[in-house]
Amino acid sequence: MKVKQDHRTVGVVESRDLFIDDPEALILESGRKFGPINIRYETYGELNDTKTNAILIVHAFSGDAHAAGYHSGEDSKPGWWDNMIGPGKAFDTERYFIISSNVLGGCMGTTGPNSIDPASGKAYALDFPVITIQDMVKTQKLLVDHLGIDCLLAVAGGSMGGMQVLEWSIAFPNQVKTAIVIASTGRLSAQGIAFNAVGRNAIMSDPNWQGGNYYGSAEIPRQGLSIARMIGHITYLSDESMRMKFGRKLQTREDYNFDFSDQFQVESYLEYQGDRFVERFDANSYIYLSKAIDYYDFSSRYGSIDDAISRTRCSFLVISYSSDWLFPTYQSKELVYAMMRRGKDVSYTELDSPYGHDAFLLETGRQEIIVSSFLKSAMEGRR
């Protein structure tokens, strides 16, 4: 129904699969050869004749290939970045060809720990190799090559997506014209790693996790994964946004009953988010992807931040949000300063927002204007 009401939607879209039936499809950062792999992806808009209008969207931790539009006419929820992708939107599907894929190690169609290991005929579980942000990017490169695109007009993403954008610019400097890094960093803070560690601990200490071998069993680590997601959601919000949204209000009563049945609104929100997450996300993917975020340090392979940035050849747009304490502004600035020191073309803005880390999904007004004008200047060859 919603499809018909919204003029700026890409409408009903379909996911596709690129299956690479090769046991050595990828050489991982760890040195291990890995394959076969499946890449779940979606595209919106049309690739132009010169193949110069392609933009790769890379998703954050819990995202998927379904970035825009609806999977059917009855679908109630659009893709995760629908407010940014569509006709006339920031990623304008009337101008650009948009590619979005699920990351390696994910659980939404691209090969991950819940995929079947051809060697054993069972799900990989913890036999799935430890993967990194670089491995995700290498996987996306296979897809981009498959689509016949030599150079991407832009790679764009927020949070864990921003890390992949940065990695694209460093690993494939000649294939990226512009890079849009939103609410992200080149290396997660100790505080961020700490929260991820608690999330993984919650999952691994759930008896139903069974050392990761819960696939096909009657019980899955529902409780552990739900708690991990609750912690995640706390880090995505801010003190101010929680105060505005929930305050100290109780969910079902006006006055305290002084027993444990009392629930504050914020509690029931977190519980709801946790429960919903369990329905769509795989606990082992949580462990692998959060570890990939923790491991990522874009400078580690090149000596220093500046040496890593020196490799890049694209124009950058870096956006941070004032109340984001998971990927704080100072981390974005660290990147931008290195780009300036190395004489790279970079624009940076810190948008004022109360919504914490989640702002990159919510603050679409100003973000849309900035991204669309940046892309427009890139398309016109002014970047």
Partner 1 sequence: MSRHEDPTRFSYEEISRLVSAGSTVLDLGCGDGELLLILEEERSCRGRGVDKQEDMVLACISKGLSVFQGDLDEGLKDYPSQSYDYVILNQTLQMLQDPRFILEEMIRVGRKIIVNFPNFGHWQARFQLMLGGRMPQNKQLPIPWYKTPNIHFCTRKDFIDLCGDLNLRIVDEICLNSAGRRLAVGKNAMATQVCMLLESKKA
What b/e sequence results for 160-191 when a residue is b if at least 16 CB atoms lie within 10 Å of its CB, and e otherwise? Answer: bbbbbbbbbbbbbeebbbbbbbbbbbbbbeee
Residue selected from 44, 81, 348, 360 as contacting partner 1 according to rule CB under 8 A: 348
Nearer to partner 1 (CB atom), residue 4 or residue 382: 382
340 near partner 1, judged by CB under 8 A? yes
CA proximity to 192, closest of 299, 324, 81, 29: 324
Q: Is 169 assigned a catalytic role? A: no
CA proximity to 237, closest of 273, 263, 205: 273
347 near partner 1, judged by CB under 8 A? yes
352 near partner 1, judged by CB under 8 A? yes
Place of tokens 């950062």: 29
345 near partner 1, judged by CB under 8 A? yes
Residue tagged active-site, from 159, 169, 238, 353: 159
DSSP state of 301: T
- Cβ–Cβ < 8 Å for 130, 290: no
362 near partner 1, judged by CB under 8 A? no
213 near partner 1, judged by CB under 8 A? no
Footprint of partner 1 on 283-322 (CB under 8 A): 315, 317
Query: With contacts defined by CB under 8 A, how many residues of the chain interact with partner 1?
Result: 25
Q: Is 357 assigned a catalytic role? A: yes
- Cβ–Cβ < 8 Å for 53, 97: yes
Residue selected from 262, 267, 307, 350 as contacting partner 1 according to rule CB under 8 A: 350
Residue tagged active-site, from 64, 206, 324, 358: 324
Cα dihedral angle (82, 88, 89, 90), rounded to 10 degrees? 140
Nearer to partner 1 (CB atom), residue 165 or residue 180: 180
Distance CA 233, CA 86 (A): 27
> Residues interacting with partner 1, by CB under 8 A?
315, 317, 336-337, 340-341, 343, 345-352, 366, 369-370, 373-374, 376-377, 380, 382-383
Catalytic residues: 159, 324, 357
